[in-house]
Each structure stands twice: as C-alpha cells, then as structure tokens.
Structure 1
Amino acid sequence: MFLSDNETVLHTVSSAEVKQFRCLESGKAFAFKNSLIQHAVVHSRVKNFKCDECGTQFALKKSLTKHLLIHSGVKNFKCDECGKQFTDKRNLTKHLLIHSGVKNFKCDECGKRFAQKGVLNQHLLFHSGVKNFKCDECGRRFAQKGDLTKHLLIHSGVKNFKCDECGKQFARKENLTKHLLIHSGVKNFKCDECGKQFARKENLTKHLLIHSGVKNFKCDECGKQFTVKGNLTKHLLIHSGVKNFKCDECGKRFTWNENLTRHLLIHSGVKNFKCDECGKQFTDKGNLTKHLLIHSGVKNFKCDECGKRFAQKGVLTQHLLFHSGVKNFKCDECGKRFAQKGVLTQHLLFHSGVKNFKCDECGKRFAQKGVLTQHLLFHSGVKNFKCDECGKRFAQKGVLNQHLLIHSGVKNFKCGECGKQFGLKSSLTTHLLIHSGVKNFKCGECGKKFGLKNNLTTHLLNHCKGKSF
C-alpha cells in the first residue's frame, strides 16, 4: 500500500520499466544497480557464508539464510492442490506452475516443455553431454550435482522411505512415490502396439523400444544386444560372476535381488498363478505366461541342427547345449557329465535314494515327477509313437528313438569282457550284470537266482506249466 498518488506512480514505473542493469556473465538483468552488484558476487566464486550444519558455502548471506530453513524443518508454505510444503514462498510459487498445466519454456533440441525455466536449464545439460559430477564410488558421471547427490544415497545403503503395502524400502522419496503406483493398480499409459498398460510413462517409453527393434547397447563379452542401457548393465553382472543376493533357506546365490525375491516364493509354497488348461500352478506370473505357450501349440524357435522346434527360446538355448557336446556339469557320485545344471540336479536324486513320487496304479516310486508322468503312459495304454520299420508302437517318443537304434544296426556300446556289442547303453549295462556274478533276483518256488529280472520272469513260466488256474 502507498501513501500518495505520486508514490503509486513511481512504484508502477519501477515495476514496469526495462531492467537496465545487465550482468555481462550470465545476461541476467536487474532493475536496481545494487541488485546487480550483489548478483556479481555469485560469478566471483567467493563463498564467505558457510552453513554450520552441513558445510555448504554461499556467496550471499541471504542465500545462507534461506538454506538454514531446510535444516530447521519449518515449512510454512503449503500447496492447496497437493499438500506439499515448502520453506520458501518462491518455491511454492514455482511449484504451483506444475498444477496450472502451463509450460512456457520449450527445449529447442527435443521439443519437451517445462513449467519452470530452471528445470529447462537443467534439462539442457542432458543434451550438452557434459557430465561434470562424478561418483567416487562407482565412477558414474552426472550432468547435475543434485543427481549425483541422489545417486550417492544408493551407495550409503540408507533407505528411509518404506512402502506400507509390501515393506519395500527406498533411498529416495520419489522412488517410493513411483513404486506406490504399482499397488494402486492404475495403469494410465497404454502401448498402441500390443495394448500392454503401464503405471509409469517412463516404463511405457522403455517398452516401446522393444517394438522398434532397435538395440543399441551391445555386450562385449557375448555379443547380446539390448534396447535399454540399464538392461545391459544388469546383464554384465552375469559375466562378472558376482552374486551378492543369498537365499537364507537353501544358500543359493543370485546376481539380482529380483531373482532372489522370485526364488523365495518357491520356499513359501505359494502358487497364485494357475493354468486354466491343465491346472498347473506357478509362483510367478511370468512362468505361467511361458507355460501357456505349450498349450498354444506355437513353436517359433527352431533348432538349425536337427529341426526340432520349441515354444520357448530358453528351452531352445538349453537344447543347443546337447549339440555342442559341451558337458560342464559333473556328478561327483558316478562321474557322469551333463550339458545342463538342471539335468545334473535331477540326476543326483537317483543317488539320494529319495523317491517321493508314487504311481497309484502299481505302487512303483520315482525320484522325479517327470519320470512318473512318463511311467503313467504305460498304464494308460496309449501308444502314439509308431516305428515305421516294424510297426511296433510305444508310449514314449524317447523309447521309440532307442528302439530305432536296433533297426539302424549301429552298435556303439561294446562289452569289455566278451566283446559283445549293443545298440543301447542300457542294454550293455544290463549285460554287464552277467559278468559281475551278482544275482539279486530269486525264484520263490525253487530258490534259483538270476542276474536279470526278465530271466527270472521267463524261469517262472516253467513253474506255471502244467498248473491249472
């Protein structure tokens, strides 16, 4: 409020007049000479005003005064739109521009618009490519000091922001805010290509790179390419061999925390994802999605070696190990080697003697569920695999493949004792029992013993002759 009309006029002129005092360093203009003089101190690099709380130094005393409000915790200026509070009125004024929707500051490089000039200036640093702020912990560089400060929280290990829904903790409040969108179930960002929806715009942006087919980030170790740099960074951990995430239940270690989290679901026994086709349940939605490919009948991944097709790329990758001949996984019990660790793990069940899977038809027990499933085909009577040579039918394709070796005439397995050759390794193993002298199969009628079960079965037929039933 002003005392006279003259003073009112003077004030109006002062407010509207051109700012005549311009800084030659930054181009910023001021209405008063004293304001320019104070501003010039900023460019002098002299910072005589130090904060006793955190050590930050300032060129102007008023800047220190404002800064101290941060440590005081006092935030008297509140946004009526979202409730966010500020220590300084000008910060509130700038913040209100976000809610107004007005974005008057445009980036000439990419066309992105901003509500505040300061935010545009920070954004321009990304286009400049200049990253003057380096992390002493990992060497990563940043264009803005504020980004470096936020990044350092990762190395500190301090996570003060906790999600009340799932208990996950974060080093930065904005990361918690983004995370909460997952629990809200709101997904406002939709991919026009495939219809997939996302809770965050940045996730949609990353996803769109998949459809573009562009993979600019290549692994120098194995040549694998990625659409996102972050995925390459995560992938490199595999080659490093570092596995910092350990399961307290079984001791298994993982390269990434999310893999450990998924793995823990196995121990929990919780399987919330069920296949409507066959009823099989899964702990992870991704595994259910992969499983559904089996029922679809679509097999887009073909082996160039043998022509066999697969529904999943991962299964093809494992299959290729058989053709490579490389068997890096050795059984310490019997020395047998395997191309895949999973197959070795299953094989070890035989040595353990544990047989948890029982056939309800005949009572026979198995160490692996898959073997029980195959065994049940015999009881079903279904024999879908036919030999084109002799017409004999089989319940399992694998048994048919073994049978075909008989027709091929190839006998690669030779007995070291007598020189007899066999088409199947299992046949040689059975034959070796003869030379071993071990006879575990005893006739209940006459006490005679046999090395092979089928010999005992043939012998029992002799006792049956002449008997009426």
Structure 2
Amino acid sequence: MFNGQINLFLPVPVVGNIAHQLVDSSRSLNFLKGPPLSLSYLSTTLRATYRIPALTVGYSRERRGSVISGERPYECKQCGKAFLQASHLTTHRRIHSGERPYECNQCGKSFTDLSSLITHRRIHSGERPYECKQCGKAFLRASSLRTHRRIHSGERSYECKECGKAFIELAHFTRHRRIHSGERPYECKQCGKSFTQRSTLTTHRRIHSGERSYECKQCGKSFTQRSTLTTHRRIHSGERPYECKQCGKSFTQQSSLTKHRRIHSGEKPYESKECGKAFLQASHLTTHRRIHSRERPYECKQCGKAFIELGNFTRHRRIHSGERPYECKQCGKSFTQGCPY
C-alpha cells in the first residue's frame, strides 16, 4: 500500500494514525490469509519506510486509555471541539489556519493530513484496494466499503427521530437533520450565504470566482460541478436512466425521480415548524419559511421591490426590460409569463 515515494519526516502520532487505520482495514476486509496486521508490525514497517523514530509505548497506552474513558483531553481554542489525540487536534487546527502541508505531486492539490493525500493519489493511480466480496465493486477507502456493504445487508443504522427517515451513512443523516433544525454551518465569506453542506459551499464559491471547470465537449457549455455536467450530457444523449416503476415516467436525475415518487406516495417530508404545512421538496419549505420570517432576498435594483421567490423576481424584471419571451404560435403575441396549463 505504501511505495516509499512520500519522502517526509512525520511526527510520531501521524504514524500511529496510519498504523491504526491499516489495522482497522485489515480486520474489516480480511484481505490477509493469516491473522490481522498488528499495530506494532505496521508501526515498525512505517518507521522503516519513512525513517521515523520508534513509537513510544506511552502513546499507545494514552490512546487506549482515552478511548476507554471517553475522555477528549485535546480541545481546540478556536471552536471548542475536543479530540482523543493531540495529532487529531493538530490536523483539525489546519481547518482554521488554512494550512495544507501534504501536496500531490501530480496535480498540486493539497491536504491537511497525510492519509487524505494517500487516498487522493489512488485517483491518479486507479488503485481501489477495498473490494466488495458480494458484487465486486471496489473503493478508494475502507470506510466507503463498510458503508457500501449496508446496501447488501439492508442495514440503515441512522434514523431521524423527527420524521423516521433512516440512512445508511452518518454523513447523510447529519445533513438530513439540518433540514429540521435549519442549521447552515457553512457560510460564504464573500456574500454571507450559508449552506448545510461543505460541498455546496465549495460549489457556491465558484459563482464568485467564475470558475467552471467542467465543460461539455458537444456544445461547449461549462459547469461548476461534475455531476451537473453528467446530467447535462443526457440532454445530448437522450438518456433517462431513472424510471418510475408506477407510471413509467423517466428522469435524467435520481433526485428528480425521488421527488416524483412523492406524487404517488403522497409523502411530504418537509414540514414547517411555524404552521405545520408540509412540502414535497426542501426548497419549497425554504421558500415557505420566508412568509413567516418576512425575508425577501430578491430585490429589484431599479424600483426597490423585493420578492420571496426567484421566479417572481425574474418575471418582475421583465417589466423594466420589456422582455416577452413567451410567444403565441397562432397570433404572434408575446408575454412575460408562460401559460400555467
């Protein structure tokens, strides 16, 4: 797994982290014919590979003691988050400082910790060392394989107490709970807009930077997200891989099928805490909440009128611009709005 190309002097706890990860991987994947790799064996191997001093016995005892007691003695002074190990706190601090000391020599992308760099390098090498024995699908990370196995077992360990929805992954469960709590922990420093997911903030930042890294080879249109490009390509190919089993209607995106299914099931999972009204989509609930908060984020620069919904704001601007994009094919008369039926 380690080819000796990373020529770094690593602090002792970092080696411990890598060793523990590899022990966990060997136990969960059973890719060894003999017993699982021992921590001491891996530590020795890593020391030899990266020329690092011996791990102290005290480090292992300290780690075990903290796990057993539940104690998290290393606390971040900036945000209050606490950790089992000093090395975890060191890595965490880089979120605040912006430091990314581990850089990929192939693409220049940098990371806060070595294990993330090692995983990233597999994107370039094509290596996927963690394979599912049931279906043969392979993964970059052991954690991804563990999550994938739940698809076969049907296990959904994380259930929302508010709506009963269950999830395979903790990350998905955490994001879902923010729908109910309204929490948006990821804020854009340029415009103040906040998001429930870090990845959404990363994508949003490209609006300010103008970066559109993903370009369609057929029409030249470019996008801020790879997934948006993948969906866009289906316009050219005509592919609609997500089909409703109840009515046969098909869609270009999984999310569109999920929303459509609620028409058949009657499910309205997004409920307003203020009035109890429920909605098919989270975006509809977000818009509805503005009725209670009286927030009108879309303001016309020409006349100052503000709107709750982007669609209404877009239509209003046509009054000033004179744009009439909807034309009657029979008489040629044009309108600011399309026919609702």
Q: TM-score range by the shorter chain?
A: 0.5 to 0.7
List runs of 5+ in structure 2 lacking aligned partners.
10-14, 44-59, 213-221, 224-228, 241-250
Paired position in structure 2 for 1:219: 75
Normalised TM-score (structure 2): 0.52
Contact 1:383–1:393 (8 Å) recurs in 2: no
* Shift in CA distance, 301/233, structure 1 to aligned 2, threshold 3 Å: farther
Paired position in structure 1 for 2:32: 185
Question: Equivalents in 1 of 2:311, 2:295: separation in Å?
Answer: 11
Contact 1:412–1:421 (8 Å) recurs in 2: no
Spell out the pairing of 1:404-423 with structure 2 (5 A cutoff): 412-413=295-296
Contact 2:67–2:84 (8 Å) recurs in 1: no
Question: Equivalents in 1 of 2:100, 2:92: separation in Å?
Answer: 12
Deviations 1:98-156 (A, max 9, x none): xxxxxxxxxxxxxxxxxxxxxxxxxxxxxxxxxxxxxxxxxxxxxxxxxxxxxxxxxxx
Paired position in structure 2 for 1:451: 336
Paired position in structure 2 for 1:316: 174
Paired position in structure 2 for 1:346: 203
Secondary structure, aligned partner of 1:296: coil
- Among 431, 438, 459, the residue aligned to 2:315: 431
Contact 2:278–2:285 (8 Å) recurs in 1: no
Secondary structure, aligned partner of 1:259: helix
Q: One-letter code of the match for 1:431? A: R
* Shift in CA distance, 231/346, structure 1 to aligned 2, threshold 3 Å: closer
Q: CA deviation at 1:343?
A: 0.5
Secondary structure, aligned partner of 2:146: helix
Secondary structure, aligned partner of 2:253: helix
Paired position in structure 2 for 1:401: 285
Contact 1:440–1:449 (8 Å) recurs in 2: yes
- Among 316, 329, 340, the residue aligned to 2:188: 329
Deviations 1:259-303 (A, max 9, x none): 112123334455555678999864222233345568522226879
- Among 355, 362, 384, the residue aligned to 2:265: 384
1:357 and 2:241 correspond: no
Question: Equivalents in 2 of 1:308, 1:378: separation in Å?
Answer: 15
Spell out the pairing of 1:13-92 with structure 2 (5 A cutoff): none
Paired position in structure 2 for 1:166: 3
Normalised TM-score (structure 1): 0.41
Q: One-letter code of the match for 1:166? A: N
Question: Equivalents in 2 of 1:446, 1:201: separation in Å?
Answer: 83
Paired position in structure 2 for 1:199: 38
Paired position in structure 1 for 2:115: 258
Deviations 1:392-430 (A, max 9, x none): 997x44266368669x777643765789876x5234334
Q: CA deviation at 1:186?
A: 6.6
- Among 422, 436, 440, the residue aligned to 2:325: 440
Contact 2:129–2:140 (8 Å) recurs in 1: yes
Paired position in structure 1 for 2:218: none
Q: Which has the larger radius of gyration?
A: 1
Contact 2:315–2:336 (8 Å) recurs in 1: no
Paired position in structure 1 for 2:53: none
Contact 2:102–2:117 (8 Å) recurs in 1: yes
1:298 and 2:162 correspond: no
* Shift in CA distance, 448/274, structure 1 to aligned 2, threshold 3 Å: farther
Q: CA deviation at 1:312?
A: 1.6
Question: Identity of paired residues, percent?
Answer: 23
Paired position in structure 2 for 1:286: 143
How many residues are matched?
A: 266
Question: Equivalents in 1 of 2:257, 2:172: separation in Å?
Answer: 27
Secondary structure, aligned partner of 2:331: coil
Contact 1:218–1:232 (8 Å) recurs in 2: yes
Question: Equivalents in 2 of 1:309, 1:266: separation in Å?
Answer: 31
Question: Equivalents in 2 of 1:284, 1:258: separation in Å?
Answer: 10
Paired position in structure 2 for 1:82: none
Contact 1:433–1:451 (8 Å) recurs in 2: no
Contact 1:438–1:451 (8 Å) recurs in 2: yes
Contact 1:415–1:428 (8 Å) recurs in 2: no
Contact 1:329–1:344 (8 Å) recurs in 2: yes
* Shift in CA distance, 216/169, structure 1 to aligned 2, threshold 3 Å: same
Contact 1:290–1:312 (8 Å) recurs in 2: no
* Shift in CA distance, 308/433, structure 1 to aligned 2, threshold 3 Å: farther
* Shift in CA distance, 212/451, structure 1 to aligned 2, threshold 3 Å: same
Deviations 1:306-345 (A, max 9, x none): 99987526863896698556653257xxx57334541133
Contact 1:385–1:400 (8 Å) recurs in 2: no
Q: Over the residues paired in the alignment, what is the CA RMSD in angstroms?
A: 5.5
* Shift in CA distance, 374/319, structure 1 to aligned 2, threshold 3 Å: same
Secondary structure, aligned partner of 2:115: helix
Question: Equivalents in 1 of 2:137, 2:322: separation in Å?
Answer: 46
Tell which has more relative contact order, 1 or 2 (C-alpha 8 A, sep 6+).
Answer: 2
* Shift in CA distance, 301/289, structure 1 to aligned 2, threshold 3 Å: farther
* Shift in CA distance, 319/382, structure 1 to aligned 2, threshold 3 Å: closer
* Shift in CA distance, 411/324, structure 1 to aligned 2, threshold 3 Å: closer
Secondary structure, aligned partner of 1:343: helix
Question: Equivalents in 2 of 1:381, 1:325: separation in Å?
Answer: 25
* Shift in CA distance, 371/214, structure 1 to aligned 2, threshold 3 Å: farther
Question: Equivalents in 2 of 1:400, 1:171: separation in Å?
Answer: 51
Q: CA deviation at 1:212?
A: 0.8
Contact 2:287–2:309 (8 Å) recurs in 1: no
